[in-house]
Chain A
């Protein structure tokens, strides 16, 4: 009996990826089982599913036989509080890692997202300004290569330059280079106090916030067509420090101190077409203006230069809007990446736009997955 026979069951009605049905689903419970499964699935086309919150991001797979589900691959293997690190299985819900005793994995993710999926999707949220993104917080990783070989890189210490930093390569690879089974993360202490400052203010004010050295943990912008744009700042630290800094920030922005974030905080903007927009900091106001002018709702990090724009597919020509946003992002020194779009619209959209280094990326994919079986067609340039 191969691990495939042991673990795979026929796919159900919900087991599809961006509209493409799978034949089989398997949920291994540990790295060894996962390795045996992948080895036995050597000739199958595979897509990995974490919480499934973002499987509709990206184009449908060119072929799909097997969904590998990480929902049984869960648990905190180790939480070394004194060393501020944790070792977790890939299917562990992020919500669990947000609440380790006294410490947290400072990586924003929605309910239902898994650690592996968050790394594979390189998802990030407001607090990236202070804590960085998955690439900065991941210090070690275990991955099953498409040929079934178990491989590790990095380690359990934050400072480590032994060998190539492959964790970076797997981060944001959307499961095209293998199955992540374990991650080692750097943790941060739970701040003693935090507060928000909210203001109706144009995005151009973000520069003043940054210049004022408030050591903000997040600096978010929100803009809706036809309404005043808003800024919100998250401050974390000691109770006395946060009190002083919030008051100062509220003065600077002519805003209000609040215990809670605004409702749009960290959420994807509404609309069935969502686009991630990046740009250099000085161009964020222009980028926001263009997106809002094109009828999109925008929110995101004005402090990091990473925004999300959302609009309805039926409210105008989506291709023209994407082209407009992309031109603005390129002018701003960044990119426009389509995250979600309805099935009817997606095939005609260029999801990524220009990708520097694409030829090298293809060569990496060819080495890791010569049969192009892992999430075929779901990544940049048809990788």
Chain B
């Protein structure tokens, strides 16, 4: 099945979206279903040869609302949407729709609710946890035609955008005014703001600036029963429960975002970028800890180990110092006076931790060159190994040396190489497990090494995902982090939004659950009396 699929399909987002180009080669290409994957039903690629009458009726209704060209039923067309950035899961959706307005999204969802048909939102399809994996009997709602930037208001530090707008476009639109949109996932040239909201996307500069959740102040959403509702707003601290905060990171399981109000951040007065090379990963980790402990909050602290450097060197000739066991990229930004003082401090701390070479970007070109190695790293690893798995786990940064050592051991025992390229400043690891899919059984074994890495993260008090989300891929690991009661509590929120479970079913939660009756207020005798306490006082 999936094994013989062309892996380049991973990022193809179908008609209307730009070709993914450069990012395609960076897609993780596991090629085969992982061991211990969810029910095989979810993995079966084909839709039934004959669509159900219910879907046919739904397609007819949606064509009336959206127009002929916005509803795809042709199997070849549907297949271009069968996976997201995690290509080992593939499901052909029953229908794909391309709404052009929020009202159309609401109409589609209402039609799904009426028919009890599941629906899945899709932005650019770059997600790495199978979050946008379609449902075989459901509708895939693609936001690629909701691409307008509705307002840029620098004086209010806000921009209002449609969900399909590409992350980088927001910064491009704000830059002429001296502002930008701070969350910068490495996929920012192609991923959508709606997808960022759903995943609470992070990026290299989130160490200082925070994640998507800290930069979204308002949303318009379509609830799973098809209503348009506003959460939050332009101003901070909207009264009532912070449903906006609960929605961000909910991976499309609480509804579909149709409009996003984001915070714009002032472009920093100065930026300084430094590359420090160390003999060992331990030294680079120690430098990271020392920088943070000294009270410096750099804009970014990124680490690459020897294998990641080797790959980047081969791919983009970034010319990092030879013989490095690990490199750190440290970026500082802010007022010139502060940056200068911190810069001296960081350089000294790197030296003390054992840096054998430290380079400073003299200008923007040199800065780009330093970042080019880091940004190309995923793609580069694809050139030194036939296949690889991207893992995404978090540990307390003080545990970096210990956990990186143990990752090396676990991989070594099973005969795998692991390249590490990650957000060191916030302990967000991205170990890439290299393997060769043409060798029988190797994909499954790579998957189990990758899983063991997550267990290491949990053992050290960390998380099973720092930015790529749970999606389809990691739902089975949720019980490592959360008790049944914790998961049930999250499910209470799910039931409040989506009692029928139609929004992106099968994602995030490890086991399917039902919501039960919608609860109401009970009345009766005074509870103190009922509790037998009435007479006491």
Contact = CB atoms under 8 A, between A and B. Distances in A.
B483 A152 contact: yes
A166 interface: yes
Interface string B495-537: 1110000000000100000000011111000011011010001
Contacts of A305: 235-236
B213 A244 contact: no
Contact of B335 (A136, A213, A306, A372): A213
A244 B337 contact: yes
A43 B231 CA distance: 33
B426 A159 contact: yes
A161 B210 CA distance: 13
Contacts of B211: 159, 161
A52 interface: no
A185 to B, nearest CB: 14
A181 to B, nearest CB: 14
A370 B522 contact: yes
A16 interface: no
Contacts of B394: 157, 159-160
B231 to A, nearest CB: 5
A159 B202 contact: yes
Contact of A151 (B428, B485, B531): B485
Contacts, number: 304
A242 B10 CA distance: 50
A334 B235 contact: yes
B490 interface: yes
A368 B492 contact: yes
B487 A163 contact: yes
Given A159-B426, A210-B266, A281 B398 contact: no
A89 interface: no
Contacts of B519: 366-367, 370
B395 interface: yes
Nearest to B399: A83
B362 interface: no
A324 interface: no
Nearest to B345: A238
Interface string A158-176: 1111111111110111000
B199 A151 contact: no
A168 B213 CA distance: 10
B241 A173 contact: yes
B155 A162 contact: no
Contact of A238 (B297, B341, B530): B341
B246 interface: yes
A256 B161 CA distance: 41
B497 A282 contact: no
A295 B250 CA distance: 44
Contacts of A306: 235-237
B344 to A, nearest CB: 10
B492 A335 contact: no
B531 A4 contact: yes
B365 to A, nearest CB: 24
A161 B342 CA distance: 30
A159 B496 contact: no
Contacts of A23: 528, 533, 537
Interface string A53-79: 000000000000100000000000000
A156 B399 CA distance: 13
Given A162-B481, A279-B235, A356-B229, A44 B531 contact: yes
Contact of A166 (B292, B489, B527): B489
Interface in A319-340: 332-335, 337
A132 B210 contact: yes
A280 B158 contact: yes
Given A162-B465, A238-B342, A364 B493 contact: yes
Contacts of A316: none
Interface string B396-407: 111000000000
A352 B239 contact: yes
Given A162-B463, A165-B249, A356-B231, A152 B486 contact: yes
Interface in A101-147: 102, 122, 124, 132-133, 135-136, 143, 145
Given A132-B210, A238-B342, A43 B530 contact: yes
B295 A190 contact: yes
B376 interface: no
B442 to A, nearest CB: 28
Greatest chain A CB density within 10 A among B153, B467, B468, B490 is at B490
A82 B463 contact: no
A160 B341 CA distance: 31
A187 to B, nearest CB: 11
21 contacts: A124-B237, A133-B237, A151-B483, A153-B489, A159-B206, A162-B474, A163-B481, A163-B508, A168-B246, A241-B337, A244-B335, A280-B234, A305-B235, A333-B233, A355-B239, A356-B231, A356-B240, A361-B241, A365-B241, A367-B492, A370-B519
Interface of B: 153, 155-158, 178, 199-200, 202, 206, 210-211, 213-214, 223, 229-246, 248-250, 266, 268-269, 289, 292-295, 297, 334-335, 337-338, 340-342, 394-398, 423, 426-428, 461-470, 474, 478, 481-483, 485-490, 492-497, 508, 518-522, 527-528, 530-531, 533, 537
Interface of A: 4, 10, 23-24, 41, 43-45, 65, 80-85, 102, 122, 124, 132-133, 135-136, 143, 145, 149-153, 155-169, 171-173, 177, 188-192, 207, 210-211, 213-215, 237-238, 240-241, 244-245, 276, 278-283, 304-306, 332-335, 337, 352-353, 355-361, 363-368, 370-373, 379-381
Given A159-B206, A166-B493, A332-B235, 7 more contacts: A132-B210, A157-B426, A158-B426, A161-B463, A164-B250, A356-B238, A361-B241
Nearest 4 interchain pairs by C-beta: A168-B245, A189-B295, A334-B235, A370-B519
